[in-house]
């Protein structure tokens, strides 16, 4: 639908994929692949800009926001920025608008209106969020509005920003302003942050996780930072995918926040991840910063000349074994995924409830050497609740909710290392995906409930001594190193990193949680 407004020539509202693609091609916003997916390049921003994200401080947010990790913007600066963003948008000959839902459970659903000068960004959000029916649109009232101005550059002196880029959440006025970046992930993650603010007040635990359901109708959730295998491990042909990234856990069970997937596709292959690869070949999919073959325009997923952070955004029903309603029961199994490039953590370990809260608050993974100039060894990354950039409230709020949910519903919690074994990155080798899948499936099936466990002497959690279809020596990381003393030193070093990181918020959690981390080192 196209309407006329007194402040802009045309507003194209709630167009479908074909219309949005046609507009995007007409406007020169990107290209089609050989199979009909749409590709866009977002240089210079090929990832999120966390240092340019702000929350407006006012009487409502001042006492409740976790200001240690959320930058403040004054109401006056926000008002000026909104005025200038609106003027910028109104200067365009045409704008695109999509009215969508966040939240598959109608009891907790948030209605969101997105407006942008770019058709492809509106295709992105249409893929990413839940699409209303025609009846829904007749009575649609936005609960939040996102004004997207990717080409508008903020003036730090005038607007109170750090640079020309900005992602600003006014949680009281229910408005998000995004500008100075074309990276589409900012649209998705801004709404995740909004839900992380709203849902705890409704006793809903918001989670940065994927979720799926087995043939036995048992739900599992997978927490993990980028690169840990969250999307890969949840897209299992033997299980139905609820969603790949963001969910809520209410007294009714788990529900997807989204209606699509945003998969990392660097080095994607049909053999390794057939469901995701097939989705990238479909019309309506958006490929972000993926290099195309200059002759036939086929995606070159092994190319990282633009960025390692290449992405595909597609509706969840492009995955054949998705769960149509986007909901599931209370999880029986919770998995924390980490890619430990230090080669220290076991490939799987069972956590007590207090250990689960400790590792949830830690949100550990590790970057590998060589990803940045001058980095010659692994670098630890700790992101509280596996999503610190999206937490408007103190991490302790979410950790308490996790503890309450797993206690109430009897969920088992496992730490799974998808990273290195036999040594750190550069000396050891990456865990084989087949072995990780075997361990995850064993945990999901309850096949580890009766096996023998040993207590890890450094981290204190329990490690199974046998897992079907997994070499037993792999389960003891120390035995995979050629130099046991080197392993001990590396393990002690990582344990200290955990303790140093946890000290920053230990005062805000139960003492039993604060003491559930490494026991030596």
Q: Are 130 and 259 in contact (CB under 8 A)?
A: yes
The reply to whether 91 belongs to the active site is no
CA-to-CA separations, 78 to 81, 168, 176, 206, in angstroms, rounded: 5, 8, 10, 27
Angle at CA 394, nearest 5°, toward 391 and 396?
Answer: 115
- pLDDT confidence band for 521 (50 / 70 / 90): low
Class at the top of the CATH hierarchy for domain 332-472: alpha beta
Question: Over 90: is that where the pLDDT of 505 sits?
Answer: no
The reply to whether 208 belongs to the active site is yes
Question: Over 50: is that where the pLDDT of 301 sits?
Answer: yes
Q: Which two tokens stand for residue 58?
A: 């006012």
Q: Which of 195, 304, 307 is nearest to 243 (CA)?
A: 195
Question: Over 50: is that where the pLDDT of 134 sits?
Answer: yes
The reply to whether 230 belongs to the active site is yes
Supply the DSSP symbol for 308: S
The reply to whether 141 belongs to the active site is no
On average, the pLDDT of the chain sits at: 94
- Helices 17-26, 119-128: axis angle to 10 degrees equals 150
Structure confidence at residue 386 (pLDDT): 96
Name which residue leads in pLDDT, 443 or 508.
443
Q: What percent of the chain has pLDDT over 70?
A: 96
The reply to whether 476 belongs to the active site is no
Which H helix or E strand runs over 278? Answer: helix 274-279
Lowest average pLDDT, out of 124-138, 339-353, 357-371, 421-435, goes to 357-371
The reply to whether 231 belongs to the active site is yes
The model's pLDDT over 44-100, given as tens digits with 9 standing for 90+, comes to 999 999 999 999 999 999 999 999 999 999 999 999 999 999 999 999 999 999 999
Supply the DSSP symbol for 448: T
Structure confidence at residue 272 (pLDDT): 86
Instruction: Name the pairing type of β-strands 175-179 and 311-315.
Output: unpaired
Question: Over 80: is that where the pLDDT of 239 sits?
Answer: yes
Structure confidence at residue 237 (pLDDT): 84
The reply to whether 48 belongs to the active site is yes
The model's pLDDT over 355-367, given as tens digits with 9 standing for 90+, comes to 999 999 999 999 7
| Active-site position among 208, 332, 354, 441 | 208
Instruction: Map out the domains of the chain as residue ranges.
Output: 2-30+43-202, 332-472
The model's pLDDT over 372-384, given as tens digits with 9 standing for 90+, comes to 444 456 789 999 9
| Active-site position among 12, 77, 159, 189 | 189
Structure confidence at residue 370 (pLDDT): 39
Rounded CA-CA distance 82/217 in Å is 46
| Active-site position among 111, 193, 231, 480 | 231
The model's pLDDT over 177-231, given as tens digits with 9 standing for 90+, comes to 999 999 999 999 999 999 999 999 999 999 999 999 999 999 999 999 988 988 8
| Active-site position among 23, 45, 311, 435 | 311
Beta strands in 216-272 (DSSP E): 219-224, 240-243, 246-250, 253-256, 260-264
| Active-site position among 8, 145, 172, 226 | 226
Instruction: Name the pairing type of β-strands 38-40 and 175-179.
Output: unpaired
Q: Are 365 and 339 in contact (CB under 8 A)?
A: yes
Question: Over 50: is that where the pLDDT of 320 sits?
Answer: yes
Determine the average pLDDT of the residues in 128-146: 96
- Is CATH 3.40.449.10 the right assignment for the domain spanning 2-30+43-202? yes
Cβ contacts of residue 70 below 8 Å, gap of 6+?
53, 54, 55, 391, 392
Determine the average pLDDT of the residues in 382-400: 95
Q: Helix, strand or coil for residue 265?
A: coil
The reply to whether 350 belongs to the active site is no
C-alpha neighbours within 13 Å on the C-beta side of residue 479: 10
Question: Over 50: is that where the pLDDT of 255 sits?
Answer: yes
């Amino acid at each position: 639908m196209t309407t006329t407004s007194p402040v802009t020539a045309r507003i194209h509202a709630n167009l479908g994929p074909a219309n949005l693609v046609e507009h995007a091609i007409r406007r020169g916003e990107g290209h089609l692949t050989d199979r009909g997916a749409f590709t866009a390049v977002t240089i210079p921003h090929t990832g999120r800009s966390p240092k340019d994200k702000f929350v407006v401080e006012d009487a409502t947010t001042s006492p409740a926001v976790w200001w240690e990790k959320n930058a403040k913007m004054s109401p006056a600066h926000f008002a000026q920025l909104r005025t200038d963003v609106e003027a910028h948008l109104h200067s365009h000959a045409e704008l695109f608008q999509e009215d969508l839902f966040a939240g598959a459970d109608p009891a907790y659903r948030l209605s969101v209106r997105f407006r942008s000068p770019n058709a492809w960004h509106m295709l992105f959000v249409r893929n990413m969020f839940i699409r209303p029916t025609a009846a829904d649109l007749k009575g649609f009232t936005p609960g939040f509005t996102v004004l997207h101005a990717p080409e508008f550059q903020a003036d730090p002196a005038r607007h109170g920003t750090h640079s020309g880029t900005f992602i600003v959440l006014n949680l009281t006025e229910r408005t998000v302003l995004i500008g100075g970046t074309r990276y589409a992930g900012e649209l998705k993650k801004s709404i995740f942050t909004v839900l992380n603010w709203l849902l705890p007040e409704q006793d809903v635990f918001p989670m940065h996780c994927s979720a799926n359901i087995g043939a036995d109708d048992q739900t599992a959730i997978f927490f993990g930072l980028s690169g840990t295998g969250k999307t890969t491990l949840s897209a299992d042909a033997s299980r139905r995918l609820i969603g790949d990234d963001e969910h809520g856990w209410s007294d009714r069970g788990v529900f997807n926040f989204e209606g699509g997937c945003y998969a990392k596709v660097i080095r994607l292959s049909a053999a390794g991840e057939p469901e995701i690869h097939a989705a990238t070949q479909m019309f309506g999919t958006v490929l972000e910063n993926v290099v195309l073959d200059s002759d036939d325009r086929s995606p070159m997923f092994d190319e990282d000349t633009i960025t390692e952070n290449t992405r595909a955004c597609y509706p969840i029903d492009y995955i054949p074994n998705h769960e149509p309603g986007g909901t599931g029961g209370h999880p029986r199994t919770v998995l924390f995924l980490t890619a430990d490039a230090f080669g220290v953590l076991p490939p799987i370990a069972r956590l007590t409830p207090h250990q689960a809260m400790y590792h949830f608050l830690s949100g550990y993974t590790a970057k590998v050497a060589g990803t940045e100039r001058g980095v010659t060894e692994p670098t630890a990354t700790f992101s509280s609740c596996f999503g610190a950039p999206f937490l408007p409230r103190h991490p302790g709020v979410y950790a308490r909710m996790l503890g309450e949910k797993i206690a109430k519903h009897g969920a088992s919690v496992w730490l799974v290392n998808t990273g290195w074994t036999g040594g750190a990155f550069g000396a050891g080798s990456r865990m084989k995906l087949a072995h990780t899948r075997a361990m995850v499936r064993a945990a999901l099936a309850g096949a580890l409930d009766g096996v023998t466990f040993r207590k890890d002497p450094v981290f204190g959690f329990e490690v199974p001594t046998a897992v079907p279809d997994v070499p037993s020596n792999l389960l003891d990381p120390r035995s995979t190193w050629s130099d046991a003393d080197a392993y001990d030193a590396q393990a002690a070093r990582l344990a200290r990193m955990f303790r140093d990181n946890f000290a920053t918020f230990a005062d805000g959690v139960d003492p039993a949680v604060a003491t559930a981390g490494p026991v030596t080192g």
